[in-house]
Amino acid sequence: MAKPKSNRLDTIYAPATARGRSALAVIRISGPLSGDLLERLTAAKKPPERRASLRRLVDPETGEALDRALVLWFRGPASATGEDLAELHLHGGPAVLDGLLAALGRLPGVRLAEPGEFARRAFANDKLDLTQVEGLADLVAAETAGQRRQALAQAEGSLARRLAHWRETLIGIAAYVEAHLDFSEEEEIPKDILARSAARVAALTVEMAAVLAEAAAGERLRDGIACALLGAPNVGKSSLLNALAGREAAIVTDRPGTTRDPIEVALDLEGLPVTLIDTAGLNPESDDPIEREGMRRALARASACDLALILVDATCPLCPPDALAALPPERSLVVANKCDLVTGHANSEALSISVKTGFGLPSLLSALTLRARSLQGSEGCEPPLVTRARQRRALEEALSALQRSLTASLPELFAEELRLALHSIGRLSGRVDVEDILDRVFAEFCIGK
């Protein structure tokens, strides 16, 4: 796959900060004209590289003063995009920003950047691999500390480094095998080369499988865990949702059958994102079509959730509705509400709470956090490396190819599976480069061709 190279003719600019009144606003300019533009906007020579300099900014056409701001100048390739790059740290008023954007827009050879175009140029210029670009996007979108940790690690190259290591190792193995295929008459090629290569591949599959084993957790941390609140009508599901959300998100009444449509709120449990979903009470006896449709939606929603919080009424020790009996215990948590109405523990299996008095809510939050932590894989010190379905699928493809290679009957098939694995890894990191295999054959074996 040929990687798109940036169009070096274009110089692009864009505000890098959100619009609105703020202390500062940043405009970035990238491309060959960046230095000229900076000189025209400051009516002065380019400032020293990589150092903040205070400059008066003017409209190059009219000479009108637009702001007094810090400017930064990076000469490519030592810049975030790999191109000549300038940053203007303006005062954050909308009129200042608009004035600069209008002045830039009137200059020839410059255009407003498309979304993600700075990152795309960084990728095209080998400043970042694709997983780092994805990590950066996640870092900007991160809403909890756990998401931030995971995204920052990926943006800083945690997965990219691992992929580069696997790629190097595989190219090394492939080089041996290709050499065996092409030059098996040569004396310096050891005879047991395939057996040795297979042992190295087997070790790689173990490493990849370990990374894949954490992928689901990484995806859950990135996307958040979905937790459905389920139970019979009137047990206090909506009350609990409101209490945990800290606002009146759902309607609460003493009439069974109040909630009909699922209602979602976002929780941040010690840095772990959880979406809590209130659902219609499950009443198998109901013949009200609206209530039955509500129940259908509740169960459909629950089946797609990572976790079900099953609420029961502490005054009625009878169990959760039958419809919930099939939920696997590792995906459900039973909680008895309204414990203010009973003396002692009516339902000893369940965690006891009272939304009314607040009793047990801290324990429930701790239990939920524990579950979220194990589902999102944040028990270890390092966040999972794989965080997206795209990454997981590409890695699964690579792993399958390697596993197939181990059962290949012919050296040619073995080599072909290694190439497929390399291709998947190349797709994962955004750079596929099969020429490297041949380069390494010649470089490592010094065959002299």
Ligand X SMILES: Nc1nc2c(ncn2[C@@H]2O[C@H](COP(=O)(O)OP(=O)(O)OP(=O)(O)O)[C@@H](O)[C@H]2O)c(=O)[nH]1
Of 34, 81, 242, 259, which lies in the binding site for Mg ion, with binding defined by CB under 5 A? 259
Cβ proximity to ligand X: between 348 and 409 the closer is 348
Judged by beta carbon distances under 5 to 8 A according to partner kind, the member of ligand X, Mg ion, none in contact with residue 360 is none
Judged by beta carbon distances under 5 to 8 A according to partner kind, the member of Mg ion, ligand X, none in contact with residue 341 is ligand X
Q: CB-based contacts of 95: which residues, under 8 Å, 6+ apart?
A: none
In the chain, what is the straight-line distance between the N-terminal and C-terminal CA atoms, in Å?
Answer: 27
Cβ proximity to Mg ion: between 253 and 357 the closer is 253
Cβ proximity to ligand X: between 101 and 249 the closer is 249
What tokens appear for 218 in the block? 């990484």
Of 15, 271, 281, 360, which lies in the binding site for ligand X, with binding defined by CB under 6 A? 281
Cβ atoms of 45 and 90 closer than 8 Å: no
The DSSP symbol for 404 reads H
From the list 216-224, 253-261, 400-408, 427-435, the region that binds ligand X by CB under 6 A is: 253-261
Of 15, 31, 236, 360, which lies in the binding site for ligand X, with binding defined by CB under 6 A? 236
Q: CB-based contacts of 264: which residues, under 8 Å, 6+ apart?
A: 275, 276, 277, 278
The CB-of-297 to ligand X minimum distance in angstroms stands at 12
**Closest to 28 measured CA to CA, from 107, 88, 74:** 88
Cβ atoms of 17 and 25 closer than 8 Å: yes
**Closest to 4 measured CA to CA, from 119, 110, 125, 155:** 125
The CB-of-24 to Mg ion minimum distance in angstroms stands at 45
Q: What's the residue count for the chain?
A: 449
By CB under 6 A, is residue 144 in contact with ligand X?
no
Cβ proximity to ligand X: between 233 and 426 the closer is 233
Judged by beta carbon distances under 5 to 8 A according to partner kind, the member of Mg ion, ligand X, none in contact with residue 340 is ligand X
What's the sign of the alpha-carbon dihedral 408, 410, 416, 422?
A: positive
Query: What is the per-residue DSSP string for 292-309?
Result: HHHHHHHHHHHHT-SEEE
Range 239-254 burial, b when 16+ CB lie within 10 A, else e? bbbbbbbeeeebebee
From the list 132-140, 182-190, 255-263, 414-422, the region that binds ligand X by CB under 6 A is: 255-263
Tell which positions 302-361 bind ligand X, by CB under 6 A.
Answer: 337-338, 340-341, 354-356
Cβ proximity to Mg ion: between 180 and 237 the closer is 237
Judged by beta carbon distances under 5 to 8 A according to partner kind, the member of Mg ion, ligand X, none in contact with residue 235 is ligand X
Of 17, 169, 258, 286, which lies in the binding site for ligand X, with binding defined by CB under 6 A? 258
By CB under 6 A, is residue 233 in contact with ligand X?
yes
Exposure on the CB side of residue 118, measured as CA atoms within 13 A? 18
By CB under 5 A, is residue 283 in contact with Mg ion?
no
The CB-of-250 to ligand X minimum distance in angstroms stands at 7
Cβ proximity to ligand X: between 225 and 229 the closer is 229
What gap in Å lies between CA 214 and CA 28, rounded to an integer? 37
The DSSP symbol for 330 reads G
By CB under 6 A, is residue 259 in contact with ligand X?
yes
By CB under 6 A, is residue 262 in contact with ligand X?
no
Of 169, 258, 286, 403, which lies in the binding site for Mg ion, with binding defined by CB under 5 A? 258
Paired residues of 226 in beta bridges? 275
Q: Which helix (H) or strand (E) holds 104?
A: helix 94-105
Cβ proximity to ligand X: between 57 and 280 the closer is 280
What tokens appear for 247 in the block? 């606002």
Q: CB-based contacts of 448: which residues, under 8 Å, 6+ apart?
A: none
Cβ atoms of 299 and 274 closer than 8 Å: no
Tell which positions 207-246 bind Mg ion, by CB under 5 A.
Answer: 237-238
Judged by beta carbon distances under 5 to 8 A according to partner kind, the member of ligand X, Mg ion, none in contact with residue 218 is none
Contact residues toward Mg ion (CB under 5 A) are 237-238, 258-259
Contact residues toward ligand X (CB under 6 A) are 233-239, 252-254, 256-259, 280-281, 337-338, 340-341, 354-356
